[in-house]
Structure 1
Amino acid sequence: MTEQQNINYKRIAEAIEYIKTNFKEQPNLDEVAKKVHLSSFHFQRLFSEWAGTSPKKFLQYTTVEYAKTLLKENQVTLFETAHEAGLSGTGRLHDLFVNIEGMTPAEYKNGGQYLTINYSYAESPFGNIIVASTAKGICYMAFVDDESTAFSTMQNHFPNATFRQLLDSIQQNALYIFTHDWTKLDQIKLHLKGTDFQLKVWETLLKIPMGQLTTYGAIANKIENPNASRAVGTAIGSNPVAFLIPCHRVIQSTGMFGGYMWGTTRKTAIIGWEGTKKHLEF
Protein backbone atom coordinates (compact mmCIF):
# COMPACT_ATOMS: atom_id res chain seq x y z
CA MET A 1 0.00 0.00 0.00
CA THR A 2 1.42 3.37 -1.00
CA GLU A 3 1.64 6.28 1.41
CA GLN A 4 -1.28 8.01 -0.32
CA GLN A 5 -3.39 4.84 -0.22
CA ASN A 6 -2.64 4.51 3.49
CA ILE A 7 -3.75 8.12 4.05
CA ASN A 8 -6.96 7.52 2.09
CA TYR A 9 -7.66 4.32 4.02
CA LYS A 10 -7.29 6.12 7.34
CA ARG A 11 -9.60 8.91 6.17
CA ILE A 12 -12.33 6.50 5.12
CA ALA A 13 -11.95 4.50 8.33
CA GLU A 14 -12.31 7.73 10.29
CA ALA A 15 -15.38 8.70 8.24
CA ILE A 16 -17.01 5.29 8.80
CA GLU A 17 -16.39 5.50 12.53
CA TYR A 18 -17.78 9.05 12.59
CA ILE A 19 -20.96 7.99 10.78
CA LYS A 20 -21.44 4.95 13.03
CA THR A 21 -20.97 7.07 16.14
CA ASN A 22 -23.08 10.04 15.03
CA PHE A 23 -25.77 8.49 12.82
CA LYS A 24 -28.51 9.67 15.19
CA GLU A 25 -27.66 13.23 14.14
CA GLN A 26 -27.96 12.15 10.46
CA PRO A 27 -24.84 14.08 9.35
CA ASN A 28 -24.89 15.22 5.73
CA LEU A 29 -22.16 14.77 3.14
CA ASP A 30 -20.54 18.15 3.81
CA GLU A 31 -20.30 17.50 7.55
CA VAL A 32 -18.58 14.13 7.18
CA ALA A 33 -16.26 15.41 4.43
CA LYS A 34 -15.19 18.32 6.62
CA LYS A 35 -14.43 15.91 9.45
CA VAL A 36 -11.80 14.14 7.30
CA HIS A 37 -10.54 17.37 5.70
CA LEU A 38 -11.74 16.69 2.15
CA SER A 39 -14.01 18.48 -0.29
CA SER A 40 -17.47 16.96 -0.55
CA PHE A 41 -16.86 15.93 -4.18
CA HIS A 42 -13.52 14.24 -3.44
CA PHE A 43 -14.86 12.56 -0.31
CA GLN A 44 -17.93 11.17 -2.13
CA ARG A 45 -15.74 9.59 -4.81
CA LEU A 46 -13.11 8.29 -2.38
CA PHE A 47 -15.64 6.82 0.05
CA SER A 48 -17.49 5.00 -2.76
CA GLU A 49 -14.21 3.52 -4.03
CA TRP A 50 -13.11 2.22 -0.62
CA ALA A 51 -16.45 1.29 0.98
CA GLY A 52 -18.28 0.07 -2.13
CA THR A 53 -21.23 2.35 -1.46
CA SER A 54 -21.93 6.06 -1.08
CA PRO A 55 -21.69 7.88 2.29
CA LYS A 56 -25.44 8.47 2.16
CA LYS A 57 -26.18 4.77 1.62
CA PHE A 58 -23.78 3.79 4.40
CA LEU A 59 -25.59 6.16 6.76
CA GLN A 60 -28.92 4.65 5.70
CA TYR A 61 -27.68 1.09 6.28
CA THR A 62 -26.36 2.04 9.71
CA THR A 63 -29.64 3.74 10.64
CA VAL A 64 -31.79 0.84 9.50
CA GLU A 65 -29.65 -1.75 11.30
CA TYR A 66 -30.11 0.19 14.53
CA ALA A 67 -33.84 0.55 13.88
CA LYS A 68 -34.10 -3.21 13.32
CA THR A 69 -32.62 -3.93 16.74
CA LEU A 70 -35.22 -1.61 18.30
CA LEU A 71 -38.13 -3.10 16.35
CA LYS A 72 -37.25 -6.57 17.60
CA GLU A 73 -38.29 -5.29 21.02
CA ASN A 74 -42.09 -5.54 20.77
CA GLN A 75 -42.70 -2.76 23.26
CA VAL A 76 -41.00 -0.15 21.02
CA THR A 77 -43.38 1.68 18.67
CA LEU A 78 -42.56 2.81 15.14
CA PHE A 79 -42.65 6.45 16.30
CA GLU A 80 -40.20 5.74 19.12
CA THR A 81 -37.95 3.82 16.73
CA ALA A 82 -37.86 6.69 14.25
CA HIS A 83 -37.08 9.16 17.03
CA GLU A 84 -34.35 6.99 18.55
CA ALA A 85 -32.74 6.46 15.13
CA GLY A 86 -32.52 10.21 14.56
CA LEU A 87 -35.18 10.31 11.84
CA SER A 88 -37.73 13.08 11.42
CA GLY A 89 -40.73 10.76 11.66
CA THR A 90 -42.28 7.41 10.82
CA GLY A 91 -42.61 8.41 7.15
CA ARG A 92 -38.84 8.67 6.85
CA LEU A 93 -38.45 5.34 8.66
CA HIS A 94 -40.95 3.76 6.26
CA ASP A 95 -39.11 5.04 3.17
CA LEU A 96 -35.74 3.82 4.43
CA PHE A 97 -37.06 0.33 5.21
CA VAL A 98 -38.80 -0.07 1.87
CA ASN A 99 -35.66 1.08 0.05
CA ILE A 100 -33.18 -1.06 1.96
CA GLU A 101 -35.12 -4.03 3.37
CA GLY A 102 -37.82 -4.35 0.71
CA MET A 103 -40.54 -4.24 3.37
CA THR A 104 -42.21 -1.72 5.65
CA PRO A 105 -41.10 -1.31 9.28
CA ALA A 106 -44.40 -2.82 10.40
CA GLU A 107 -43.85 -5.88 8.19
CA TYR A 108 -40.37 -6.31 9.65
CA LYS A 109 -41.57 -5.85 13.22
CA ASN A 110 -44.38 -8.38 12.79
CA GLY A 111 -42.58 -10.86 10.56
CA GLY A 112 -45.39 -10.69 8.03
CA GLN A 113 -48.03 -11.05 10.74
CA TYR A 114 -50.53 -8.82 8.94
CA LEU A 115 -49.61 -10.04 5.45
CA THR A 116 -52.17 -12.19 3.65
CA ILE A 117 -50.67 -14.37 0.95
CA ASN A 118 -52.64 -16.30 -1.65
CA TYR A 119 -50.92 -19.26 -3.23
CA SER A 120 -51.64 -21.98 -5.76
CA TYR A 121 -49.95 -24.74 -7.71
CA ALA A 122 -49.75 -24.82 -11.49
CA GLU A 123 -48.09 -26.64 -14.36
CA SER A 124 -45.30 -25.17 -16.46
CA PRO A 125 -43.16 -26.49 -19.32
CA PHE A 126 -40.50 -27.25 -16.70
CA GLY A 127 -42.57 -29.00 -14.05
CA ASN A 128 -45.08 -27.94 -11.42
CA ILE A 129 -44.67 -24.62 -9.64
CA ILE A 130 -45.97 -22.87 -6.56
CA VAL A 131 -46.86 -19.22 -7.04
CA ALA A 132 -47.86 -16.80 -4.28
CA SER A 133 -49.11 -13.23 -4.22
CA THR A 134 -50.01 -10.39 -1.90
CA ALA A 135 -52.31 -7.51 -2.78
CA LYS A 136 -49.22 -5.75 -4.20
CA GLY A 137 -47.96 -8.49 -6.52
CA ILE A 138 -46.13 -11.79 -6.85
CA CYS A 139 -44.02 -12.40 -3.74
CA TYR A 140 -42.87 -15.98 -4.32
CA MET A 141 -42.57 -18.52 -7.12
CA ALA A 142 -40.67 -21.80 -7.17
CA PHE A 143 -40.53 -25.06 -9.07
CA VAL A 144 -42.12 -27.88 -7.08
CA ASP A 145 -41.03 -31.49 -6.65
CA ASP A 146 -43.13 -32.03 -3.52
CA GLU A 147 -46.05 -29.73 -2.67
CA SER A 148 -45.84 -30.00 1.11
CA THR A 149 -42.09 -29.32 1.11
CA ALA A 150 -42.61 -26.40 -1.28
CA PHE A 151 -45.24 -24.88 1.01
CA SER A 152 -42.98 -25.22 4.07
CA THR A 153 -40.13 -23.54 2.22
CA MET A 154 -42.42 -20.66 1.26
CA GLN A 155 -43.63 -20.33 4.85
CA ASN A 156 -40.04 -19.85 5.99
CA HIS A 157 -39.89 -16.68 3.89
CA PHE A 158 -42.99 -15.25 5.61
CA PRO A 159 -43.15 -16.98 9.02
CA ASN A 160 -46.08 -15.01 10.47
CA ALA A 161 -48.18 -14.40 7.37
CA THR A 162 -51.68 -15.78 6.78
CA PHE A 163 -51.82 -18.17 3.81
CA ARG A 164 -54.81 -19.03 1.63
CA GLN A 165 -54.70 -21.60 -1.15
CA LEU A 166 -56.39 -19.43 -3.74
CA LEU A 167 -55.63 -18.66 -7.39
CA ASP A 168 -56.11 -14.92 -7.90
CA SER A 169 -55.82 -12.61 -10.90
CA ILE A 170 -52.28 -11.53 -9.97
CA GLN A 171 -51.10 -15.13 -10.13
CA GLN A 172 -53.01 -15.81 -13.35
CA ASN A 173 -51.44 -12.79 -15.01
CA ALA A 174 -47.98 -14.02 -13.99
CA LEU A 175 -48.62 -17.54 -15.26
CA TYR A 176 -49.43 -16.17 -18.71
CA ILE A 177 -45.68 -15.72 -19.12
CA PHE A 178 -45.44 -19.36 -20.19
CA THR A 179 -47.98 -19.05 -23.00
CA HIS A 180 -48.50 -15.37 -23.88
CA ASP A 181 -46.62 -12.31 -25.10
CA TRP A 182 -43.21 -11.95 -23.40
CA THR A 183 -43.07 -8.25 -24.19
CA LYS A 184 -45.70 -7.65 -21.51
CA LEU A 185 -43.51 -8.86 -18.66
CA ASP A 186 -43.44 -5.35 -17.19
CA GLN A 187 -47.19 -5.65 -16.53
CA ILE A 188 -46.52 -8.33 -13.92
CA LYS A 189 -46.32 -6.73 -10.50
CA LEU A 190 -43.81 -8.04 -7.96
CA HIS A 191 -43.80 -7.64 -4.17
CA LEU A 192 -40.23 -8.42 -3.17
CA LYS A 193 -38.52 -8.55 0.21
CA GLY A 194 -34.76 -8.16 0.13
CA THR A 195 -31.81 -5.93 0.86
CA ASP A 196 -31.05 -2.93 -1.32
CA PHE A 197 -28.23 -4.90 -2.96
CA GLN A 198 -30.45 -7.92 -3.65
CA LEU A 199 -33.21 -5.75 -5.11
CA LYS A 200 -30.69 -4.00 -7.36
CA VAL A 201 -29.40 -7.36 -8.65
CA TRP A 202 -32.90 -8.74 -9.20
CA GLU A 203 -33.92 -5.57 -11.05
CA THR A 204 -30.90 -6.00 -13.32
CA LEU A 205 -31.88 -9.62 -14.02
CA LEU A 206 -35.28 -8.43 -15.23
CA LYS A 207 -33.53 -6.44 -17.97
CA ILE A 208 -31.83 -9.48 -19.55
CA PRO A 209 -33.70 -10.12 -22.84
CA MET A 210 -35.28 -13.54 -23.37
CA GLY A 211 -32.98 -15.87 -25.25
CA GLN A 212 -29.84 -14.03 -24.12
CA LEU A 213 -27.33 -14.93 -21.43
CA THR A 214 -24.99 -12.89 -19.26
CA THR A 215 -22.37 -13.51 -16.56
CA TYR A 216 -22.04 -12.73 -12.87
CA GLY A 217 -19.26 -10.28 -13.66
CA ALA A 218 -21.42 -8.48 -16.21
CA ILE A 219 -24.19 -8.09 -13.63
CA ALA A 220 -21.67 -6.69 -11.14
CA ASN A 221 -20.59 -4.13 -13.74
CA LYS A 222 -24.21 -3.23 -14.49
CA ILE A 223 -24.82 -2.33 -10.86
CA GLU A 224 -21.53 -0.37 -10.86
CA ASN A 225 -19.85 -2.69 -8.37
CA PRO A 226 -17.35 -4.62 -10.54
CA ASN A 227 -15.67 -6.38 -7.62
CA ALA A 228 -18.90 -7.87 -6.30
CA SER A 229 -19.26 -10.93 -8.56
CA ARG A 230 -19.40 -13.30 -5.59
CA ALA A 231 -21.98 -11.13 -3.78
CA VAL A 232 -23.98 -10.98 -7.02
CA GLY A 233 -23.95 -14.78 -7.13
CA THR A 234 -25.27 -14.94 -3.57
CA ALA A 235 -28.05 -12.45 -4.38
CA ILE A 236 -28.99 -14.41 -7.49
CA GLY A 237 -29.10 -17.59 -5.41
CA SER A 238 -31.56 -15.85 -3.08
CA ASN A 239 -34.00 -15.00 -5.87
CA PRO A 240 -37.50 -15.71 -4.44
CA VAL A 241 -39.34 -15.59 -7.78
CA ALA A 242 -38.27 -18.34 -10.18
CA PHE A 243 -38.41 -17.75 -13.93
CA LEU A 244 -40.10 -14.32 -13.73
CA ILE A 245 -36.83 -12.95 -12.33
CA PRO A 246 -34.62 -14.81 -14.82
CA CYS A 247 -31.64 -15.87 -12.74
CA HIS A 248 -31.38 -18.84 -15.12
CA ARG A 249 -29.97 -16.45 -17.76
CA VAL A 250 -26.78 -15.88 -15.74
CA ILE A 251 -23.87 -18.23 -16.45
CA GLN A 252 -20.19 -18.47 -15.57
CA SER A 253 -17.63 -16.44 -17.53
CA THR A 254 -16.18 -19.75 -18.79
CA GLY A 255 -19.42 -20.49 -20.62
CA MET A 256 -20.47 -23.19 -18.15
CA PHE A 257 -24.11 -22.84 -17.12
CA GLY A 258 -23.29 -23.20 -13.43
CA GLY A 259 -25.70 -24.00 -10.60
CA TYR A 260 -29.39 -23.28 -10.25
CA MET A 261 -31.59 -23.35 -7.17
CA TRP A 262 -34.10 -25.60 -8.92
CA GLY A 263 -31.60 -27.91 -10.62
CA THR A 264 -29.05 -27.57 -13.40
CA THR A 265 -31.02 -29.87 -15.71
CA ARG A 266 -34.03 -27.54 -15.43
CA LYS A 267 -31.79 -24.52 -16.04
CA THR A 268 -30.43 -26.09 -19.23
CA ALA A 269 -33.97 -26.90 -20.40
CA ILE A 270 -35.19 -23.34 -19.75
CA ILE A 271 -32.25 -21.77 -21.60
CA GLY A 272 -32.83 -24.08 -24.58
CA TRP A 273 -36.59 -23.45 -24.58
CA GLU A 274 -36.14 -19.67 -24.45
CA GLY A 275 -33.56 -19.79 -27.23
CA THR A 276 -35.95 -21.74 -29.44
CA LYS A 277 -38.86 -19.39 -28.75
CA LYS A 278 -36.67 -16.34 -29.43
CA HIS A 279 -35.51 -17.88 -32.73
CA LEU A 280 -39.11 -18.58 -33.76
CA GLU A 281 -40.03 -14.92 -33.29
CA PHE A 282 -37.91 -13.90 -36.27
Structure 2
Amino acid sequence: MNTQQVINYNRIADAIDYIRNNFKQQPDLDEVAEKVHLSPAHFQRLFTDWAGTSPKKFLQYISVEYAKNILKEDSRVTLFDAAFETGLSSTSRLHDLFVNIEGMTPAEYKNGGKNLSLNYSFAESPFGNLIVASTAKGVCYMAFAENEQEALFDLKKQFSNAVFHKKLDMLQQNALFIFQNDWSKLPEIKLHLKGTDFQLKVWETLLKIPFGKLSTYGNVAEEIGNPSASRAVGTAIGSNPVAFLIPCHRVIRSSGTFDGYRWGNIRKTAIIGWEGAKTDEEN
Protein backbone atom coordinates (compact mmCIF):
# COMPACT_ATOMS: atom_id res chain seq x y z
CA MET A 1 0.00 0.00 0.00
CA ASN A 2 1.39 3.41 -0.94
CA THR A 3 0.32 6.89 -1.88
CA GLN A 4 0.61 6.19 -5.59
CA GLN A 5 -1.75 3.26 -5.21
CA VAL A 6 -4.34 5.56 -3.66
CA ILE A 7 -3.89 8.08 -6.49
CA ASN A 8 -4.33 5.27 -9.00
CA TYR A 9 -7.50 4.12 -7.24
CA ASN A 10 -8.97 7.62 -7.42
CA ARG A 11 -8.41 7.63 -11.17
CA ILE A 12 -9.83 4.14 -11.51
CA ALA A 13 -12.84 5.21 -9.41
CA ASP A 14 -13.51 8.05 -11.86
CA ALA A 15 -13.33 5.56 -14.71
CA ILE A 16 -15.68 3.13 -12.95
CA ASP A 17 -18.11 5.97 -12.28
CA TYR A 18 -18.13 6.82 -15.99
CA ILE A 19 -18.53 3.18 -16.99
CA ARG A 20 -21.42 2.68 -14.53
CA ASN A 21 -23.25 5.75 -15.79
CA ASN A 22 -22.72 4.87 -19.45
CA PHE A 23 -22.78 1.09 -19.35
CA LYS A 24 -25.60 0.72 -21.89
CA GLN A 25 -23.51 2.57 -24.47
CA GLN A 26 -20.56 0.21 -23.82
CA PRO A 27 -17.88 2.94 -23.94
CA ASP A 28 -14.63 1.86 -25.55
CA LEU A 29 -11.12 2.25 -24.18
CA ASP A 30 -10.44 5.54 -25.95
CA GLU A 31 -13.63 7.14 -24.60
CA VAL A 32 -13.04 6.16 -20.98
CA ALA A 33 -9.36 7.12 -21.13
CA GLU A 34 -10.29 10.57 -22.43
CA LYS A 35 -12.72 11.08 -19.53
CA VAL A 36 -9.95 10.48 -16.96
CA HIS A 37 -7.43 12.56 -18.95
CA LEU A 38 -5.05 9.74 -19.81
CA SER A 39 -3.82 8.28 -23.08
CA PRO A 40 -5.50 4.96 -23.98
CA ALA A 41 -2.21 3.05 -23.54
CA HIS A 42 -1.49 4.62 -20.13
CA PHE A 43 -5.05 4.06 -18.95
CA GLN A 44 -5.02 0.41 -20.07
CA ARG A 45 -1.76 -0.20 -18.24
CA LEU A 46 -2.87 1.65 -15.09
CA PHE A 47 -6.21 -0.12 -14.95
CA THR A 48 -4.68 -3.55 -15.50
CA ASP A 49 -2.06 -2.94 -12.81
CA TRP A 50 -4.76 -1.98 -10.31
CA ALA A 51 -7.54 -4.47 -11.15
CA GLY A 52 -5.50 -7.33 -12.54
CA THR A 53 -7.58 -7.35 -15.70
CA SER A 54 -8.38 -5.15 -18.68
CA PRO A 55 -11.04 -2.42 -18.61
CA LYS A 56 -13.07 -4.44 -21.11
CA LYS A 57 -13.02 -7.55 -18.91
CA PHE A 58 -13.76 -5.46 -15.83
CA LEU A 59 -16.94 -4.24 -17.53
CA GLN A 60 -18.16 -7.81 -17.35
CA TYR A 61 -17.52 -8.10 -13.62
CA ILE A 62 -19.52 -4.98 -12.78
CA SER A 63 -22.46 -5.61 -15.11
CA VAL A 64 -25.92 -6.43 -13.83
CA GLU A 65 -26.10 -9.58 -15.93
CA TYR A 66 -22.86 -10.89 -14.47
CA ALA A 67 -24.18 -10.23 -10.97
CA LYS A 68 -27.40 -12.06 -11.75
CA ASN A 69 -25.45 -15.05 -13.04
CA ILE A 70 -23.43 -15.15 -9.83
CA LEU A 71 -26.64 -15.04 -7.80
CA LYS A 72 -28.04 -17.99 -9.77
CA GLU A 73 -25.15 -20.14 -8.58
CA ASP A 74 -25.43 -22.14 -5.38
CA SER A 75 -25.41 -19.49 -2.67
CA ARG A 76 -25.53 -22.20 0.00
CA VAL A 77 -21.87 -23.12 -0.46
CA THR A 78 -20.28 -22.15 2.82
CA LEU A 79 -16.99 -20.40 3.26
CA PHE A 80 -15.51 -23.54 4.78
CA ASP A 81 -16.51 -25.62 1.75
CA ALA A 82 -14.94 -23.05 -0.54
CA ALA A 83 -11.78 -22.95 1.54
CA PHE A 84 -11.32 -26.72 1.30
CA GLU A 85 -11.86 -26.61 -2.45
CA THR A 86 -9.19 -23.96 -2.99
CA GLY A 87 -6.63 -25.66 -0.75
CA LEU A 88 -5.78 -22.40 1.02
CA SER A 89 -2.55 -22.15 -0.96
CA SER A 90 -2.42 -18.72 -2.60
CA THR A 91 -4.50 -15.58 -3.11
CA SER A 92 -7.54 -17.87 -3.17
CA ARG A 93 -6.96 -18.40 0.52
CA LEU A 94 -10.26 -16.95 1.65
CA HIS A 95 -9.62 -14.29 4.24
CA ASP A 96 -13.03 -14.64 5.85
CA LEU A 97 -12.06 -18.05 7.26
CA PHE A 98 -9.55 -16.34 9.48
CA VAL A 99 -11.84 -13.62 10.81
CA ASN A 100 -12.94 -14.34 14.37
CA ILE A 101 -15.77 -12.20 15.80
CA GLU A 102 -16.24 -11.57 19.49
CA GLY A 103 -19.13 -9.40 20.61
CA MET A 104 -18.66 -6.80 23.31
CA THR A 105 -20.31 -7.42 26.66
CA PRO A 106 -23.77 -5.92 27.27
CA ALA A 107 -22.15 -3.39 29.61
CA GLU A 108 -19.57 -2.35 26.98
CA TYR A 109 -22.32 -2.07 24.40
CA LYS A 110 -24.61 -0.03 26.65
CA ASN A 111 -22.12 2.46 28.06
CA GLY A 112 -20.42 3.49 24.83
CA GLY A 113 -17.13 1.74 25.50
CA LYS A 114 -16.55 3.01 29.02
CA ASN A 115 -13.30 1.60 30.43
CA LEU A 116 -12.22 0.54 26.93
CA SER A 117 -8.86 1.71 25.65
CA LEU A 118 -8.82 2.07 21.84
CA ASN A 119 -5.80 2.35 19.58
CA TYR A 120 -6.39 3.86 16.16
CA SER A 121 -4.36 4.63 13.06
CA PHE A 122 -4.77 5.67 9.45
CA ALA A 123 -3.77 3.54 6.49
CA GLU A 124 -3.99 3.29 2.71
CA SER A 125 -5.71 0.55 0.73
CA PRO A 126 -6.37 -0.22 -2.95
CA PHE A 127 -9.79 1.40 -2.43
CA GLY A 128 -8.81 4.59 -0.65
CA ASN A 129 -7.75 5.75 2.79
CA LEU A 130 -8.84 3.97 5.97
CA ILE A 131 -9.16 4.50 9.68
CA VAL A 132 -8.76 1.35 11.77
CA ALA A 133 -9.21 0.99 15.54
CA SER A 134 -8.72 -1.83 18.02
CA THR A 135 -9.29 -2.81 21.63
CA ALA A 136 -7.13 -5.31 23.51
CA LYS A 137 -9.32 -8.09 22.08
CA GLY A 138 -9.45 -7.18 18.42
CA VAL A 139 -10.25 -4.69 15.69
CA CYS A 140 -13.45 -2.86 16.57
CA TYR A 141 -13.74 -0.43 13.66
CA MET A 142 -12.49 0.06 10.12
CA ALA A 143 -13.90 2.56 7.67
CA PHE A 144 -12.99 4.16 4.38
CA ALA A 145 -12.45 7.86 4.97
CA GLU A 146 -10.86 10.61 2.94
CA ASN A 147 -10.75 13.17 5.75
CA GLU A 148 -8.85 12.06 8.85
CA GLN A 149 -10.48 14.59 11.18
CA GLU A 150 -13.99 13.56 10.15
CA ALA A 151 -13.02 9.89 10.34
CA LEU A 152 -11.80 10.27 13.91
CA PHE A 153 -14.94 12.18 14.85
CA ASP A 154 -17.12 9.33 13.51
CA LEU A 155 -15.05 6.76 15.43
CA LYS A 156 -15.43 8.68 18.68
CA LYS A 157 -19.19 8.85 18.15
CA GLN A 158 -19.24 5.05 18.08
CA PHE A 159 -17.33 4.79 21.38
CA SER A 160 -18.20 8.01 23.15
CA ASN A 161 -16.80 7.00 26.55
CA ALA A 162 -13.63 5.18 25.48
CA VAL A 163 -10.05 6.39 25.84
CA PHE A 164 -8.28 6.87 22.49
CA HIS A 165 -4.60 6.50 21.56
CA LYS A 166 -3.16 7.13 18.10
CA LYS A 167 -1.16 3.93 17.74
CA LEU A 168 -0.76 1.18 15.15
CA ASP A 169 -0.77 -2.19 16.91
CA MET A 170 -0.38 -5.79 15.76
CA LEU A 171 -4.15 -6.40 15.69
CA GLN A 172 -4.54 -3.57 13.20
CA GLN A 173 -1.53 -4.71 11.17
CA ASN A 174 -2.94 -8.23 10.88
CA ALA A 175 -6.21 -6.80 9.59
CA LEU A 176 -4.45 -4.57 7.05
CA PHE A 177 -2.53 -7.56 5.64
CA ILE A 178 -5.73 -8.41 3.79
CA PHE A 179 -4.91 -5.73 1.22
CA GLN A 180 -1.60 -7.38 0.32
CA ASN A 181 -1.45 -9.55 -2.78
CA ASP A 182 -0.01 -12.57 -0.98
CA TRP A 183 -2.39 -14.07 1.56
CA SER A 184 -0.41 -17.27 2.06
CA LYS A 185 0.75 -16.14 5.51
CA LEU A 186 -2.35 -14.24 6.54
CA PRO A 187 -2.78 -14.50 10.33
CA GLU A 188 -6.11 -14.85 12.09
CA ILE A 189 -7.90 -11.52 12.24
CA LYS A 190 -9.66 -10.87 15.53
CA LEU A 191 -12.64 -8.53 15.71
CA HIS A 192 -14.20 -7.12 18.88
CA LEU A 193 -17.53 -5.70 17.81
CA LYS A 194 -20.17 -3.56 19.41
CA GLY A 195 -23.58 -4.74 18.21
CA THR A 196 -26.88 -6.32 19.13
CA ASP A 197 -27.29 -10.08 18.98
CA PHE A 198 -29.17 -9.66 15.69
CA GLN A 199 -26.45 -7.49 14.16
CA LEU A 200 -23.71 -9.90 15.20
CA LYS A 201 -25.66 -12.78 13.67
CA VAL A 202 -26.00 -10.90 10.37
CA TRP A 203 -22.33 -9.89 10.32
CA GLU A 204 -21.24 -13.47 11.00
CA THR A 205 -23.48 -14.63 8.14
CA LEU A 206 -21.76 -12.20 5.75
CA LEU A 207 -18.49 -14.03 6.42
CA LYS A 208 -20.02 -17.11 4.77
CA ILE A 209 -20.26 -15.37 1.39
CA PRO A 210 -17.13 -16.60 -0.41
CA PHE A 211 -14.61 -14.22 -1.96
CA GLY A 212 -15.74 -13.27 -5.47
CA LYS A 213 -19.34 -14.33 -4.84
CA LEU A 214 -22.48 -12.30 -4.17
CA SER A 215 -25.67 -12.67 -2.16
CA THR A 216 -28.90 -10.74 -1.61
CA TYR A 217 -30.58 -9.26 1.44
CA GLY A 218 -33.26 -11.93 1.14
CA ASN A 219 -30.71 -14.73 1.06
CA VAL A 220 -28.99 -13.40 4.16
CA ALA A 221 -32.37 -13.19 5.94
CA GLU A 222 -32.99 -16.84 5.07
CA GLU A 223 -29.54 -17.82 6.29
CA ILE A 224 -30.24 -16.39 9.74
CA GLY A 225 -33.57 -18.22 9.87
CA ASN A 226 -35.79 -15.16 9.48
CA PRO A 227 -36.79 -14.88 5.79
CA SER A 228 -39.22 -12.02 6.45
CA ALA A 229 -36.51 -9.81 7.96
CA SER A 230 -34.91 -8.50 4.75
CA ARG A 231 -35.36 -4.87 5.77
CA ALA A 232 -33.90 -5.44 9.24
CA VAL A 233 -31.03 -7.34 7.63
CA GLY A 234 -30.40 -4.37 5.35
CA THR A 235 -30.24 -2.05 8.36
CA ALA A 236 -27.79 -4.37 10.14
CA ILE A 237 -25.62 -4.60 7.03
CA GLY A 238 -25.64 -0.82 6.74
CA SER A 239 -24.39 -0.64 10.34
CA ASN A 240 -21.38 -2.88 9.69
CA PRO A 241 -18.50 -1.25 11.62
CA VAL A 242 -15.66 -3.03 9.82
CA ALA A 243 -15.31 -2.27 6.12
CA PHE A 244 -14.12 -5.01 3.75
CA LEU A 245 -13.24 -7.56 6.46
CA ILE A 246 -16.95 -8.11 7.07
CA PRO A 247 -17.91 -8.22 3.38
CA CYS A 248 -21.15 -6.25 3.29
CA HIS A 249 -20.07 -5.19 -0.21
CA ARG A 250 -20.97 -8.71 -1.40
CA VAL A 251 -24.66 -8.17 -0.67
CA ILE A 252 -26.63 -6.67 -3.55
CA ARG A 253 -30.24 -6.28 -4.55
CA SER A 254 -31.91 -9.22 -6.28
CA SER A 255 -32.10 -7.03 -9.41
CA GLY A 256 -28.29 -7.20 -9.61
CA THR A 257 -27.62 -3.54 -8.82
CA PHE A 258 -24.64 -2.51 -6.67
CA ASP A 259 -26.11 0.25 -4.52
CA GLY A 260 -26.72 0.86 -0.82
CA TYR A 261 -23.10 0.86 0.37
CA ARG A 262 -22.29 3.14 3.30
CA TRP A 263 -18.83 3.91 1.91
CA GLY A 264 -20.06 4.77 -1.58
CA ASN A 265 -21.48 2.81 -4.48
CA ILE A 266 -18.46 3.51 -6.71
CA ARG A 267 -16.21 1.92 -4.09
CA LYS A 268 -18.57 -1.06 -3.77
CA THR A 269 -18.51 -1.55 -7.53
CA ALA A 270 -14.72 -1.32 -7.54
CA ILE A 271 -14.37 -3.92 -4.78
CA ILE A 272 -16.79 -6.35 -6.44
CA GLY A 273 -14.99 -5.99 -9.77
CA TRP A 274 -11.57 -6.35 -8.12
CA GLU A 275 -12.62 -9.52 -6.29
CA GLY A 276 -14.12 -10.88 -9.49
CA ALA A 277 -10.83 -10.28 -11.30
CA LYS A 278 -8.82 -11.91 -8.50
CA THR A 279 -11.10 -14.96 -8.52
CA ASP A 280 -10.83 -15.27 -12.29
CA GLU A 281 -7.02 -15.17 -12.05
CA GLU A 282 -7.07 -18.30 -9.90
CA ASN A 283 -9.44 -20.29 -12.14
The two structures have a TM-score, normalised by structure 1, of 0.62
Where 2:201 maps in the other structure, the secondary structure is: helix
Deviation at 1:156, TM superposition (A): 0.6
Residue-by-residue CA offset, 1:61-112 (whole Å, 9 max, x unaligned): xxxxxxxxxxxxxxxxxxxxxxxxxxxxxxxxxxxxxxxx943244246431
What is aligned with 2:136? Answer: 135
- Write the deviation string for residues 111-167 of structure 1: whole angstroms up to 9, x where unpaired: 312100000000000000000001100100000111000000010110010011100
The verdict on how the C-alpha distance between 1:254 and 1:186 changes in structure 2, with shifts beyond 3 A counting, is farther
Instruction: In structure 2, list runs of 5 or more residues that go unmatched.
Output: 1-101
The aligned residue for residue 234 of structure 1 is 235
SS at match of 2:124: strand
Q: Which has the higher helix share?
A: 1
Aligned to 2:49: none
Instruction: Render the CA deviation track for 1:242-278: whole Å, top value 9, x for unaligned.
Output: 0000000000001111210000000000000111111
Contact 2:103 2:200 in 1 (8 A): yes
1:168 corresponds in structure 2 to 169
Q: How big is the alpha-carbon RMSD for the aligned residues of Structure 1 and Structure 2? A: 1.8
Q: Deviations over 1:180-233 (max 9, x none)?
A: 555777810000111111000000001111100000000001001000111100
CA contact (8 A) 2:177 2:186 kept: no
Instruction: Tell me which amino acid in the other structure corresponds to 2:232.
Output: A
- Matched AA of 1:120: S
2:44 corresponds to:
none
Structure 1, unaligned stretches of length 5 or more?
A: 1-100
Q: For 1:168-247, what aligned pairs fall within 5 Å after superposition?
A: 168-182=169-183, 187-247=188-248
- Structure with bigger RCO (C-alpha 8 Å, 6+ apart): 2
Equivalenced residues, count: 182
Letter in 2 for 1:210: F
* Percent of residue pairs bearing the same amino acid type: 71
Kindly report which structure 2 residues correspond to 1:153-164, keeping only aligned pairs within 5 A, or say none.
153-164=154-165
Partner of 1:272: 273
The AA in structure 2 aligned to 1:164 is: H
2:252 aligned with 1:256: no
Contact persistence 2:206–2:248 (CA under 8 A): yes
Distance 1:185 1:157, change over 3 A: farther
Cα pair distance change 1:168/1:240, threshold 3 Å:
same
Dislocated runs of 4+, deviation >3 Å: 180-186
